[in-house]
Chain A
């Protein structure tokens, strides 16, 4: 066990997987000489050479598609797309090809591909560089989409993604790269498709992924200290497949839920979670399911506007208090509390 950043966990895992399997190689813009826009691949060109750390032209559709084709012949490419916004240029290759090839050809070809890409706003990068569009990929059967929020999960899910024979979109987040945490030694992969209960509690369930799972955990700790609240936190970790069971079982216990998401609310990941709770825990709810999500605007550049549009810890705390108020009114309509 050692303490390291999310960035370091990714770097070390890429390196150890490349040492383990020579079919693993990296492709992407500026990952070699420049060492990656976010320095995840620092030092790797020197160590592994140009054959295995490939700087590409700025051509997301071309190089992502080439990675898919290489994967069809048994290589295990790990593509870095500088931010998830740029993945839109490769959407056809990811959705129409990577996600389809195994099924469309009756199981004859596998696509063991990983696409690593960060989402997230809050860096004053403006409307086209601040989006959270993982939903586009999580919508598509054939894709696997994972979204670690801790350095330990960054490692365990990246190992799992690289060793998986299906295309995996591996969602990172600009604001998580410097987050530190304990990371186990060894190379034990996480199980894709499983959520994690990162904190157990009885009063209410918070559900998030990526940055918002991190925020959820911090808010739960804070409210435990300030208000004595006992909050359960679920980190979805996998957006496809989605671990509905873990969400529903938690809400059956706490009877209330707040969903945290960095994407837009309408049609967002949270809508699917809310529908899941409705389907699986309808009779257990003591208050409407609440969602905290980004304001429905193209994210502005100017700091006060950007801050106002992005979900914050304060927004989450407010939603928790309002939800618990609603719970109180339903459980104790006469104002009594036993």
Chain B
């Protein structure tokens, strides 16, 4: 891993951008949008940051169970991608999805309540950290099985195409997912049928502890699209503006009926999940990762470009912290689902002989013991 100069625009330089689309090193940043958009990006990134830190704390307090994978380090990627979507577009993602849920417009309270397993949770407490779903915001699921969301997202794009709709599907996945069969089968189908979908690889360079180099025979993951004659691109995932611009191009292509594969190179600031101390990463590596922290570098850029001052940054931070705190309080006060609802969601269409038996109950009420006349 090479070091790089630490300048305000350096976030542009990190991945080798094979497409040549990203701004080369040392050129001034060309701002594509106004102050409001950029400060909006920062506000959303900071909200993810503070929300995830609050979630990690709640997890260590045993208020959150199961697995808990955080978007820390991926804030720029999440915000850049989500900003390129219309409200009517669909999102399928994986189990590292709290930030996507919030940025898609689901209230942080409902996301936190889901983490706490409460009835006000976005999936009513049935999904947990890995399975957030909201039809209204068209977030059609976090999915816990690596690669499981990819065929589903492809099918959603098929449904859009079937109805001649103008929505698109954006489907995110981790770098490790590109080795699973479902990835290849789905890209093949999407390319054959010209489906309106953008596949996004969030490449944080680690599948748990296994690096891309050790898992993928073609470590330039965006190149895998070429096997399906699909257009692709790679972008610096630590720069929300670069991600936004690349995502806009990808989304436009999908909307024209051509699937697209976008690789977003990012960083994982913590372990694979909250309980992973990531001892397999060296102190030197972690120092570099910390130095590249996308929230901090974007803040520095905004200050350097005169878009925000330190006081405004602090205000945004305070607001995000307050939202995260409020979310935790809301979650803690939300009731657990009533146990009487246990059998409410097995089937959408009620069906004869659906079992409502609890573990200790017999299948049939015990029959009276026959009277053989022995005790007379």
Contact = CB atoms under 8 A, between A and B. Distances in A.
A186 interface: no
Contacts of B271: none
Chain B binding surface, main DSSP class: loop
Contacts of A20: none
Contacts of B92: 69
Interface stretch (A36-44, A58-66, A129-137, A259-267): A58-66
A142 B346 contact: yes
For A63, A92, A104, A282, which residue has the most chain B Cβ atoms within 10 angstroms?
Answer: A104
A334 B140 CA distance: 69
Interface string B144-172: 01001011111111111010000000000
B274 interface: no
A110 interface: yes
Contact of A193 (B127, B158, B352): B352
Interface residues of B, number: 53
B353 A107 contact: no
A108 B352 contact: no
Contacts of A283: 367, 369-370
A40 to B, nearest CB: 22
Q: How large is the interface on A (under 10, 10 to 19, 20 to 34, 35 or more residues)?
A: 35 or more
B164 to A, nearest CB: 10
A307 interface: no
Given A61-B185, A62-B154, A107-B348, A241 B159 contact: no
A69 B153 contact: yes
Interface string B76-106: 0000000000000010100000000000000
A166 B350 CA distance: 9
B109 to A, nearest CB: 16
Contact of A280 (B131, B133, B354, B364): B364
Contacts of B192: 57
Contacts of A7: none
Interface in B100-148: 121, 123-127, 131, 133-135, 140-141, 143, 145, 148
Interface in A185-204: 191-194
A321 to B, nearest CB: 28
B186 A62 contact: yes
Nearest to A23: B162
B231 interface: no
A70 B156 contact: yes
Nearest to B114: A106
Nearest to B167: A73
Interface of B: 90, 92, 121, 123-127, 131, 133-135, 140-141, 143, 145, 148, 150-160, 162, 181-182, 185-186, 188-189, 192, 344-349, 351-355, 362-364, 367, 369-370
10 contacts: A65-B151, A65-B182, A65-B185, A66-B186, A73-B156, A104-B127, A110-B348, A242-B353, A244-B363, A244-B364
Interface of A: 25, 51, 56-57, 59, 61-75, 77, 92-93, 96-97, 101-112, 141-142, 144, 164-166, 191-194, 238, 241-245, 248, 276, 279-280, 282-283
